[in-house]
Structure formats: structure tokens, C-alpha cells
Structure 1
Amino acid sequence: MNKFCYSILFLFFSALAFAQEISPDAVMQKVKSEVEKGNFDNALSLIEPLRVKFPQDEDIQVYTGRIYSWKKEYQTALKIIKPLTDRSNPNPDALLAVINIYYWSEQWDSCVQYCDKYLAVNPQDAEVLKIKVNCLEKLNRNQEALEIIDGLPVTENSTQAFRGIRTLIGRKAKNAVSVSYLNVSTSDPGQSPFHYGYAEYSHKFSKSAIVGRANIGHANNDTQMLFETDYYQTFKNKSYLYANAGISTGETVFPIAKGGLEYYFAPYKKFDFSLGARFMHFDASDITLLTGQLAYNAGSYSIAYRPYYDTENELFSHVLSLQKTNEEKESVIRLELQYGNVPYLYLYNGFTAPLKAYRAGIQYQHRLGDSFFVRPIFLYEYEEYIPGEYRNRFNVQLIVTKRF
């Protein structure tokens, strides 16, 4: 009888213990549920006992390390996962986890090293290739990054991610050359067209840039040159200073001498501000323009207002612009509405009078390949050329740029 009772008790407690034994799969489901809610500490409290109980289960080890990485406890995550990668037959999921940890923690060299380990087994994995290319770009190993992208199938290297990396690499180019031609024509009544052109070279330094430009203009049967320099200096707070100086070979087509300064303040939320002045010296008079800009940025769109005040003639001019920019394609489309004696580019002569002018313009920038840009510009003016008399004025310009 006693043996029978002991047997019953043994079966009862065995069944109770078995009922209390929780399945690892059930625990992992609960862990993943907590992770989805962002409750990483709760998830760790559930998975850590499993990791201790089943040390040979690599899926549990890798997932534990991932949770620590999502908590940004990168060193703890690496301590758990790296033993599964630093061996002759690395665990592929562990490799992916380590790649992400090094990428998130901006350890670019180590990330590239483990990408290579993974790609030795899975050479066509697009996501790992994308991470490696991003790391190479961060390390300024740009040619290696481009070679990887160029070696991918068209369906891959033309994706948004790889196009974006190409753009980032392209923007690191230190040098650029541009050429431009501008034709200014009038009708009702008309006169001989004016012709303007320039060639410029720009070079970027770490925190500054300099541009040298040679302009040529033919107007009223006279041809003159204008030589000028632009200088940009950036500051730690994301503000920058623009300076310009130039001197010409004549007195009518261009100013005899010109200069300008404008300070662009650090952006405030979605707003940009600037204040500046332009100075032009002519044979008969000097002209000072006070200017500035207020711009509002909303995603890829920007709307800006820029006034000009001619202190010599006490004239106000206004420019309102709407611009859409595609950062990845480096394309720009810009619409402008202008009123008053606005200086179009460098064209501002000494024969200014308080006459009205209404303008509407459009310009578009398009990138060809990785380094060529074309920018056509069209500006229509309804111009008061003598008091009470108006005519049409057409400004058509093309700018071509090559960076390298």
C-alpha cells in the first residue's frame, strides 16, 4: 500500500513539474512580443534564463545580442555574439547582427571587415553590399565604393539607395568648372541683342571655397570683360559668409569695380536668414544695394523672399521664389517673381531710373551622369523703358558645369 501511495505521489509531482516546464518556443514568442512593444528590459529578463539553460542554442544567443544592440548597449551585444562569428564556420545570422552593430555604432572599419566575411559566403547580398558601400563612403574610400556599385546588376545599382551614395560621393568633388551664355533680347520695340558669357573655376577646401570667374559682355556695340572672385567661409554653427570682388575693363557693360558681402545665419528650425550688401562703382556714380533673404524650408520645397534697396536712387526691388530640390538626383526647379530694378546676375549698370519692371522666371538644373550639370534659365520682363512706355525683354541663359 505504501509503495502504491509513493507511486501516485511521484507521478503527481512529476506531472506538476512537467506542467511548469515552459517551452523555449513559447518563451521566445513572449520575448518577441515584448521587443515589438519596445520593452527591451522585459524581453531580456525572459530570454536570459533561456540563454543560460540552452547555451548551445545559437538562435537564442544571437537574438539576445540583438536586443542589447537595440538598447544601444553595443559592447554587451558584441560580447555575446562575436564568439559565433570569430570561428572557422561563422554563424550567418550572427555576422549580420555584428555588421549592424558596427554600422549603428559608426565603427566603419570593423563593419567593412565583417561585411567582407559575410560576402565571402553570400557575395550578392544587396543589403550587406549597401552597408559596406556606405561605410566605404564614410571612410572616404570612394573609388572602392563606386567599383562595387558599378559591378552590381542594373536592377540593383540603379536603386534609390545606391543612387543616393553616388550623390554623396559626387558632392565630395573639390573642383568644378562652369561655362555660361546669356542672351538678352527685346521686342515692341526691339533693339540689338546683348550677349554675355562667363567661364569659372571653383575649388572647395575643408571649411571654405573660392571661385574665380571671367565674364565677357557685348552690348551697344561695345565688348568688355569683368574679372571677379567669390569666397565662402563656413562656421561651426552652420552659418557662412559670402564675399565678392571684381574689376572690369570698361565702364558701361559692367561696373568698373564691384564688391559684396552677405552673412547667412545658422538655420533656425525651418527658416534661413541672411543680411548683406552689394557695391558697384561706375564712372559717373556709385551704387549700393542692401539685401538679405528670408526662406522657409518644408522638405524638398523652399519659399524665399529677397529685397534689394538701392540707396543711391532710393529704389526698392523684390524677388519671391519657390524652389523644389531633389537631393538624390541633385535636380532643382525654381520659379521666380520679381518687381523693380533687380540686378539679374552681374548685370546692373549706372543708368538706373525709377522705372517699373515686372518679371517671371524659371530655371531647372539637371545632372547628367555623376558629374555634369546643365541649367537652362528663362526670365521674361515687362519693362518700362521710358516713363509710361513698356516693352518685352527676354533673358535666356544656359550654364554647363563639370565637377571633378
Structure 2
Amino acid sequence: MKFIYHSILLLFISSIAFGQELSIDETLANVKREVEKENFDKALSLIEPLRAKFPENEDIQVYAGRIYSWKKDYKTAAKILSPMADRANPNPEALQAIINIYFWSEDYERCIIYCDKYLLSDPKSIDVLRIKATCLEKLNRDQEALELIEKASFIDNSTQAFSGIRTLIGRKAKNTVSASYLNISTSEPGQSPFHYGYVEYSHKFSKSAIVGRANVGHINDDTQMLFEADYYQTFSNKSYLYANGGISTGETIFPVAKAGLEYYFAPHKKFDYSFGARFMHFETDDITLLTGQLAYTAEVYTVAYRPYYDTSNELFSHVLSLQKVNEEKERLIRLELQYGNVPYLYLYNNFTQPLKAYRAGIQYQHRFGESFFVRPIFLYEREEYVPGEYRNRFNVQLIVTKRF
């Protein structure tokens, strides 16, 4: 009789335990479904009763903490996870979750503390090493970040996971030098090529930058120079102002004097836009160009439109471009379609009649190492050089840049 009684009791207890386990698994499955839908409040309403009923179940506690962090309620998430992360034998999952909390909330100092604590038990965790290196970069502790990356490269036999951090550190370089050569040739009919070149130096300050540039042009056995400067001023709302001024040694190859001003408004969602003007004084004429830009960025692609209006000759010109950028490798490829008298970099002629020009161009930038860049540019034109007569025009340019 006792045997039957104990058997029934054991079966009853087992059934309750099985029911509880089934209830936990089913509830967590529902929680996961709500999380995948980003219904975080609904997910929390399901998991909170489980937290209260099974306070010793750390898997449930950690998952609840993660949900609060995904909801961006970082304070509550840290309150749940801290007891499991701060003890002598921390829960690794809780440590990982709290590292993410302080990283996402931009508390980089505290994030580093928990990264170090995690790395005591798992010093080869590339994910945690990457987060720590990123925090160091955000705090401008760049040398420490680079040393950590070098250490991690021996662990992973690669620095691929850290290339984006290296790029961010490299972009902080204050100085840049560039040199360029541009050849302009024509055919049907042809004429002697035009040769242009420049060297420039730029320096970045905390919220501004200045560029000095010396240009040289050689056309028909005549050589002239153009000396100019650019100035960039950024503002707290992420807008910035561009200013340019220059003066030449001659009167034909370059403008006698030039000036420009353009304001780039704060980006609005995925749109960027600007408005500005360029002024050029030639020997026999003055040219004023009104310009601006409207650009739309979707992930790595940017489509942009820039018009030019020559107020003196009442000419409209247009540039449509498509650009793809790899931010991590600082690599880009850009396609352009142009119509009208579009200024090619610093070049513009004082046209006195509306001659047409159709252009298609491509340019590519490649970074070698951490700080050396090469950018080849090719632009083909079908140019109306006199009314009703067209010729081919080829613009080939190479720009090399070193930052330090």
C-alpha cells in the first residue's frame, strides 16, 4: 500500500515539475517571438513573472536584462545584470550583456572595466577585444587601442576585425599632403595637350581645417601659377562652411583672382544639401556661378545632383553622380554625368556664348597601408568648341595623398 502511495506521489510531483519546465520553455519561446518583432514591452510582460517565480535561474535573469538593454532602458538592464557580473565568479553571459549596455550607452570608461573583467577568463575573445579597442578610440586613447589591436592580431592571426578602428584612428591625422597631375587632350580636331598640376597641404584643427594649394598650368608654351586657400568651419549641428580664395600670376590659363563660399546644411535623415557661389575675375570678364547640391545616401551609395548657373552668360550646367564608399577601407568609386560648362576642379573658362558639352567620368580611390591614397580620374567630353562643331576631349588625372 505504501509503495502504491509513494508511486502516486512521485508521479504527481514529476508531473508538476514537467509542467513547470514545459511552461518555462513555452513562455520563453513566446518571449523570443515578441523580441524578434521588437515588441519589447510585450516580451517583458511575459518574462517578468518568470523572473519573480525563478529568481535563481540566471538564464532568465540575463535574458530579461538583455531585453531591457534592447529597449534602451540601460539603467534597469544594468540593475538586473550587475549582481551577476560584479561577483567574484561572474556569469559570462551577464558580463557580455553588461559590456554591450555600457558600450551602447557610450559609457566607455565603465565598458572597459567590464571588458577587462571578461578578458581575465577569456583573453582570446575577439568580440570583447574589438569593443575595448573601440572604447579606447572613442576616448582618444589611440595608442592604447593600436597596441591592443597588435596584441589581438597574434591571437586571431589577422587584423580584419579591427580595420574599421584603425581607419577611425587614421582619420584623426592632423596633416595631409597631396600632389596631382592633370592632362587634357583633344582629338578630331586635336591640339597640343594642356598640362596642370598642384601640390597642397592641409591641417585640421578641432572644428576647422585650412588648405594651401599651389597650382601650375602649361598651355601653348605658356606657364602660369595659381595660389589658393580653402577654409572649412564645422558647427555643432553638423553643418559646415566652405570658403575659397586664390590669385594667379597670369591672366589666361587661370582666373586672375577667384573666390567661393558654400554652406552645407545639417543633414536631414538621409539627405544632404548645400548652397553657394563661385566668383572668378578674368582679364576681360567676370564670372559668377551659383551652385548647390542635393544628395541622398542609402547605406554605401550616394546619389547627388549639383547645378551651376552662370549669371553672366545665363548658362545652366548640371552634374549627376553616383558614388559607392567603403568606409572601413576608405575606398570609393564615383560615376558622373555632366552637361554644360561645369568647372573641372579649379578650371573654368570665361565663355561668352552658350557652347554645349556632354561628359561622362569615373574616379576611384584606393588606400595603401593606413595613410597613403591614390585616386585616378578619367573624364570624357564631347565638346562644342565653336557653334555647331564638336570634338573629343579627354581629361586624365592622378592624385596621390599622404596623411600624417
TM-score range for the pair, normalised by the shorter chain length: 0.7 to 0.9
Say whether residues 1:40 and 2:44 are aligned partners. Answer: yes
* Paired letter, 1:43: I
1:157–1:41 Cα change, 3 Å: farther
- 2:389 corresponds to which residue? 389
1:393–1:22 Cα change, 3 Å: same
Say whether residues 1:270 and 2:266 are aligned partners. Answer: no
- 2:332 corresponds to which residue? 332
Q: TM-score, normalised by structure 1?
A: 0.87
**Structure 2 portions without partners, runs of 5+:** 36-42
1:73–1:185 Cα change, 3 Å: closer
Q: Deviations over 1:260-299 (max 9, x none)?
A: 1112223334333222211111222211112222323333
CA contact (8 A) 2:51 2:61 kept: no
| Partner SS state of residue 320, structure 2 | strand
- 2:218 corresponds to which residue? 218
CA contact (8 A) 1:179 1:399 kept: yes
* Paired letter, 2:109: D
Q: Deviations over 1:87-122 (max 9, x none)?
A: 443333332233222223221111111111211221
CA contact (8 A) 1:186 1:394 kept: yes
Alignment of 1:243-258 (within 5 A): 243-258=243-258
1:250–1:23 Cα change, 3 Å: same
| Partner SS state of residue 43, structure 1 | helix
- 1:50 corresponds to which residue? 54
Alignment of 1:290-369 (within 5 A): 290-350=290-350, 352-369=352-369
Q: Deviations over 1:228-257 (max 9, x none)?
A: 111122233333221111111111111111
- Deviation of residue 63 (structure 1)? 4.4
Say whether residues 1:116 and 2:120 are aligned partners. Answer: no
Taking the aligned partners of 1:337 and 1:67, their CA distance within structure 2 comes to 48
Query: Bigger shift: 264-273 or 288-297?
Result: 264-273
Q: Deviations over 1:58-106 (max 9, x none)?
A: 5455445445444544344434433444344333333223322222322
- 1:135 corresponds to which residue? 135
1:273–1:17 Cα change, 3 Å: same
Query: Bigger shift: 392-401 or 97-106?
Result: 97-106
Query: Bigger shift: 206-215 or 88-97?
Result: 88-97
- 2:38 corresponds to which residue? none
Alignment of 1:273-284 (within 5 A): 273-284=273-284
1:25–1:71 Cα change, 3 Å: farther
Percent pairwise identity: 69
Taking the aligned partners of 1:293 and 1:60, their CA distance within structure 2 comes to 52
- Deviation of residue 187 (structure 1)? 2.2
Taking the aligned partners of 1:105 and 1:295, their CA distance within structure 2 comes to 30
CA contact (8 A) 2:180 2:398 kept: yes
Higher Rg of the two aligned structures: 1
Alignment coverage as a number of residue pairs: 395
Taking the aligned partners of 1:302 and 1:313, their CA distance within structure 2 comes to 31
1:136–1:219 Cα change, 3 Å: same
Taking the aligned partners of 1:102 and 1:146, their CA distance within structure 2 comes to 21
1:156–1:78 Cα change, 3 Å: farther
- Deviation of residue 152 (structure 1)? 2.9
CA RMSD of aligned residues (A): 2.9
CA contact (8 A) 1:102 1:108 kept: yes
Taking the aligned partners of 1:274 and 1:91, their CA distance within structure 2 comes to 52
* Paired letter, 1:166: R
